[in-house]
Chain A
Amino acid sequence: MIGASKIKQYSNVLEKPLSKGKQEVSLSAFAFLFSELVQYNQTQVDNIAELERRYGVILLLQTMFLGPWAAGSEIVHNQLCRLEDAGYAVGARCLELLCHREKGNRRETRLLGILSFVHSTVWKVLFGKVADSLEKGTEHEDEYMISEKELLVNRFISIPKDMGTFNCGAFVAGIVRGVLDSAGFPAVVTAHFVPMEGQQRPRTTILIKFAEEVLRREARLG
């Protein structure tokens, strides 16, 4: 008897339509959570273990005696990698969900298609607005840039002077890389600060550099 009603319950749950859920999340809650994510990536123990694994004893000793910032650029690079990897996971899942919800399971095969998908749909769902601009790089054929006056994740973050190149937008770069990779457009995605004249805060640019195979495929598709 009990078994029968249980099964009935499960099938009811499966037959329920998928709800979109709440569209809004508290910005403060997200900001605190993201701040903790960044701080977690900076913990000493991980760095030393990772350094030890990758670069050997000399760098480890240097770090131990001179302090963590002696091996500054390696640590910054590691932190960026980890922040990006966290974003990558979000991006992969985002693509699945948004393809189903927003686009009726249609798959993008063209470069401009996937770029405008990232630029408008992904940005709209994640940040509540479309990205400020999407540009093609002038110097290289395989470079595209999504610019934003200020990334939502960076809104409350002030980078200290001694960590000049660190950009928490690496998380967003990871999201974009996750979306592009899962859609079949492998790329290297990085986040950069671009200083603007006349404005105190620099603009953020997400630089997307597509892999060779993507460009060849695009050329073949005409």
Chain B
Amino acid sequence: MAAIYSLYIINKSGGLIFYKDYGSAGRMDTNDTLRVASLWHSMHAISQQLSPVLGCAGIELLEADNFDLHCFQSLTGTKFFVVCEPGTLHMENLLKYIYELYTDYVLKNPFYEMEMPIRCELFDINLSQAIQKDRVALLGR
């Protein structure tokens, strides 16, 4: 099955609060990840303004030669985006599931400060399980 290269979560002001890479293809050092995050945040905002279609909520999919970038924006402005192999299916469902994990294990954690980098053990554990799980299970949602 096609692979995920990396996962980013950015807060409503564009700061990177979570980054995880899977495999060496998508690996970047910390400074680059922060740059990518704020770059994507700005592009997402600009695309909303530039869109010829009314009521556009921003970029959902970016297809390039070597990768696809799927983005999910929650109602609060938190963006979850994943960089994966071209042609990977069901990334939207995965992003929605990750959003559920975020609301459960990050937002209900009393030790988490809003808009700060995510350092929650339970979130990491459940995220790894979700990524490794068979995609068929995610289809059932």
A163 within 8 A of B: yes
In the bound assembly, the distance between CA atoms of A56 and B125 in angstroms comes to 43
A9 within 8 A of B: no
Q: Which residues of A contact B122 (CB under 8 A)?
A: 156-158
A39 within 8 A of B: yes
Which of A28, A34, A158, A163 has the most chain B CB atoms closer than 10 A to its own CB?
A158
Q: How large is the interface on B (under 10, 10 to 19, 20 to 34, 35 or more residues)?
A: 10 to 19
Binds A, one of B51-59, B63-71, B106-114: B106-114
Complex contact A158–B108 (CB within 8 A): no
A35 within 8 A of B: yes
In the bound assembly, the distance between CA atoms of A156 and B119 in angstroms comes to 13
Chain A, residue nearest B121 (CB): A158
Complex contact B111–A160 (CB within 8 A): yes
Complex contact A200–B125 (CB within 8 A): yes
Complex contact A163–B108 (CB within 8 A): no
Complex contact A168–B110 (CB within 8 A): yes
In the bound assembly, the distance between CA atoms of A28 and B100 in angstroms comes to 12
Q: Which residues of B contact A160 (CB under 8 A)?
A: 111, 119
Q: Which residues of A contact B109 (CB under 8 A)?
A: 35, 156-158
Q: Which of A12-52 contact B (CB under 8 A)?
A: 28, 31-32, 34-39, 42
A159 within 8 A of B: yes
Complex contact A159–B105 (CB within 8 A): no
B127 to chain A, nearest CB (A): 12
Chain A, residue nearest B103 (CB): A28
Complex contact B108–A28 (CB within 8 A): yes
B120 to chain A, nearest CB (A): 4
Asked whether A36 and B108 contact (CB < 8 A) given A156-B122, A158-B120, the answer is no
In the bound assembly, the distance between CA atoms of A158 and B119 in angstroms comes to 9
B104 within 8 A of A: yes
In the bound assembly, the distance between CA atoms of A31 and B110 in angstroms comes to 9
Complex contact B111–A31 (CB within 8 A): no
In the bound assembly, the distance between CA atoms of A208 and B122 in angstroms comes to 28
Q: Which of B105-141 contact A (CB under 8 A)?
A: 105, 107-111, 119-123, 125
In the bound assembly, the distance between CA atoms of A160 and B125 in angstroms comes to 14
A33 to chain B, nearest CB (A): 10
Complex contact B108–A31 (CB within 8 A): yes
Q: Which residues of B contact A28 (CB under 8 A)?
A: 108
Which of B105, B119, B121 has the most chain A CB atoms closer than 10 A to its own CB?
B121
Q: Convert A152-180 into 0s and 1s, putting 1 for each residue whose CB lies closer than 8 angstroms to a CB of B.
A: 00001111100100001000000000000
Complex contact B108–A35 (CB within 8 A): yes
Complex contact B110–A38 (CB within 8 A): yes
Q: Which residues of B contact A31 (CB under 8 A)?
A: 108
Which of B104, B111, B125 has the most chain A CB atoms closer than 10 A to its own CB?
B111
Known: A158-B105, A158-B121. 5 other contacts (CB 8 A): A38-B111, A156-B109, A156-B122, A157-B108, A158-B119
| Residues on A facing B (Cβ under 8 Å) | 28, 31-32, 34-39, 42, 156-160, 163, 168, 200
16 contacts between A and B (CB under 8 A): A32-B107, A35-B109, A35-B110, A36-B110, A38-B110, A38-B111, A156-B109, A157-B108, A157-B111, A158-B111, A158-B119, A158-B121, A159-B111, A160-B119, A163-B111, A200-B125
What are the 9 A-B residue pairs with the smallest beta carbon separation, nearest first?
Answer: A38-B110, A156-B108, A158-B121, A158-B120, A35-B110, A31-B108, A158-B122, A39-B110, A160-B111
